[in-house]
Structure 1
Amino acid sequence: MARFLIFLLVLFVPLSAFGSQSDAADASPLIAYNGLLVGDDARARLVIDFDRKPAFNYHYMSNPARLILTLPSTSFSFSADSVEPRGMISDIRYGTTGPGQSRVILTATQPFQLTLAETRENEAGGARLVIDLAMTDAARFQKLIADQAPLRDDQAIALSSKTISNPADADVEKDGFLVAVDAGHGGIDTGAIGEDSKTLEKDITLEFARTFAKKLEEQPGLDAYLTRDSDVYLSLSQRVELARQHDADLFISLHADSLSQPDISGATVYTLSDKASDRLAAALARRENLSNKIAGLETATEPEEVTDILLDLTRRETQSFSINLADRVVESFKGQIGLINNPHRYAGFMVLRAPDIPSILLEIGFLSNPQDEARMQDPAWRDKLIERLVDAVKAYHKPTIADAGE
C-alpha cells in the first residue's frame, strides 16, 4: 500500500513577507520570526520560519548526542518558549557563532538520525526550515559520525534542501510482507499479574510474540520483526517508531490484561478510535497508555488542531486496513479460540497510532480469569492461537498479493 510519512503537521500563520533575498555578499541577516519544537521520546520536529530561504548545513556530534545546524547570520526573534526542550530533545541553543554565521544546536537524550532536512516556501512569502529527528541505535549513530567530514568553523553553508533515507534502510533487508510483532510491556513495566500463579503479562506476551514471529517467518512471503526480544522497557512511541523504521506492513501488539471482573474471559481485538466502543475498551486503553508514566515519561501533548489532523489522516489512510485485519482475526478465531462478546472493539490506544501502518492490539486473554491464565501457560493452546493468528495474517495478505499481480 502507498506509504506516506506523517509524524506531525505544524500550522503557522505567517506574519508578513519581509522582502526578497539579495546577493549573499551584501545580504542583511536572516530573520527567524517563528519557531516550534514538538515530539516525544522517539521522534522530534523543529520548524523555523524565515523571512527568506535559508541555506544551511548540519553536523552530528557525540557525548552528548547533538545535531548542529549551521546558518547564515540570523536574527532569532521567536519566543524561547516555542522551542522549549521536550521528549528526546533535552536542550536547544541558537545564536550567532561568528561573522556571517549562526547555529542551532539540538541535544538529544539518545542516539538519533536526521530523517528530513528541507526548506519549503511559505505562501505569503519567506520560507520554512523543517528538521526531523528519529531515534536510532548507538552503532548507527557512531557510523553517521564516522562517515561525515570533520566540522570546521568556516564550514560552507550549502544545502537548501536534503532528504535523508530511512534510518534502518542500510541495515535491514526486507524480502517479504513484514509484520511488526509487539510484545506488550517489558522491563520495569510488568503489566498485569495473574490471580493464581502470579504470571506476569510481560512474560506471557514475549513468549507469544517469539512464537508468532517464528511461525510467520516459516510462511512463504512473510517476515516478522520483534519490537522487543528480551525483558526490556520500550515506550509506546518507541514501539511504533521501530515498526516504521523497519518499514512494517502490519503492526500487531500482544497483551494479556487484567480486569476487575474475573468472570470475563476470551480474546479481544482492538483497533484505533478517538472514541471508545464501550467502557471496557476505554478502561483498557487508559491502562495501556499508562505505560509511559511507569517509566517516568510524559506523554507528548501536541496543539489541539495538530492532533485532530493527525487522527483524521490516520483514519482515512489506515483505519479500513486495520479493521480488515481485525475482522480476519475474529473470523479465524471463531470456533477455535474463545472470544469475548463483541470481540472487535476500539479505543484510543497510543500504540496503534502509526499513521501509515495498519495496526491492531490483541488481548490474548485476561490474567484476571483463572481459566484464561491457565490456557496462556499451556504450550499447546498457545500454538493453536498462534496458528489461527498466522492464518488471519495470510488471509489479510492475499488481496495484497492479488492486487500486485504476483
Structure 2
Amino acid sequence: MTTTRTQVCIIGGGPSGLLLSQILHRAGVDTIVLERRNRDYVLGRIRAGVLEGGTMQMLRDAGVGARMDAEGFVHSGTYVATRNRGFRVDFQAMTGKQVIVYGQTEVTKDLYDARDAMGGTVIHDAADVAIHDAGGTPHVTYRRDGAQHRVDCDWIAGCDGFHGVSRKAIPDDVLRTTEQVYPFGWLGILSRTKPAAPELIYANHDRGFALASMRNDQLSRYYIQAPVDDPLDKWSDDAFWDELRRRLPDDVAQAMETGPSIEKSIAPLRSFVAEPMRWNRLFLVGDAAHIVPPTGAKGLNLAVSDVHYLSQALIEHYAGDDEGVARYSERALARVWKATRFSWWFTTLMHRFPDDGHFGQRMKQAEIDYLESSRAAQTVMAENYVGLPF
C-alpha cells in the first residue's frame, strides 16, 4: 500500500470539492481530491446552473470567474405564471442584485482547468474509498489500478454527494437527518432550440408545474411535473412539447420553438438535511449534507456557501484560529435551513400535490395573484432567489 500525506483530503471531485481545493491551494493549504469517476463522466453530468451573487463572487475570488462573466447570461428577474398568464419579478428593482445562468458543467470545467494550471492533485477512478479514524488521526484509503492507497491527513472534507461514504462515517447516535420526499418528479429535456423567454418561467397549472429554462441562446432546458416512476418511453418528444405548452403562458406557448430532445430524464425531488455537518475531523459539504428540490436553484449555491464557511475555517485554523472550525456546522446549517425553507415554499406553491383538491389549487392561485400585486411579497421572494448573504 502506498501512503501519501496532505493537510486536507477532499472526497468528491464535483464543483464543491474542486472549488474547496482551489481556494485552499491559493491560500497555501495542501489538498488531495479523490473522485470515484473519471473526468469525462464528471464533465458529462447535466446539471442546472443559476448562480447567486455570492457564488459568482466566490468563483471570481478563486480565479475561475472569467469565462462565467464573459459567457454567462445575467438575469435581473424571473417570470411566475398561473392560469396560463404570467408576470415578472424584478430582482434588480427589489434587491439591487442579479443572478447568472451558467451551467454547472461549465463551472466544473473551469475548476478543472484551474486545478490543472496550479498542479492540483485530483485522483480519478478512486474506488472503494473509506474513511478511517475521523475522531482521532484521520486517514482515507482507496483502490486504484488494482492497488491499495492511503492518504494521511489533518482533515477530511466529504464533498461526495448524497450517496457518498462521508455522511455514513458519522455514528448513528450523532447524526440526525430530516427528510421530505415529494410525491412527483421533474421530467426534463434538453433541446437545441431558442429559449422560450429571455428569463426563466415558473408556471403553476391545474395539470402540474412547468419550468422554461435555458443553457445558452441556442440550448434550452424544459421541465414538467410528472410521476417519478413514469417510464421515459411514455414521453415522446411530441407528447412532452404538447404538455409543456398546455402549462405555460399562452403567449409563450404559441411562440416557442420546439425540436428533438438531446437528453431526457426524470428526477425525484426531496428536501433532506443532515446535522451536524462536522464530526471531529470530518466535514460534510454540499449534497453530502443536504438536498433541496431544484425549484429556486439552491443546490449548487448551497454547496458553494458551505465551501465559503469551510475554506475560511481551515485557512484560519492554519493561521492559529480554530473558531471557524468549531462553528462551521452552526454557520453552514443556519443558511441551509433558510434555503431549504425557500425551496420548500416555492415547490409547494408551484406544484400540484395529490391531496390539493380544488381548494388547494385555488389557494395557490390566490397566493400567486397576491405575489403579483405586492411589492413586499416580491421583495421577499427576490431576496431569497438571488441568495441570502453568506
TM-score, normalisation: structure 2: 0.26
Ranked by relative contact order (alpha carbons within 8 Å, sequence separation 6 or more), the top structure is: 2
Q: Which has the larger radius of gyration?
A: 1
Q: Which has the higher helix share?
A: 2
TM-score, normalisation: structure 1: 0.25
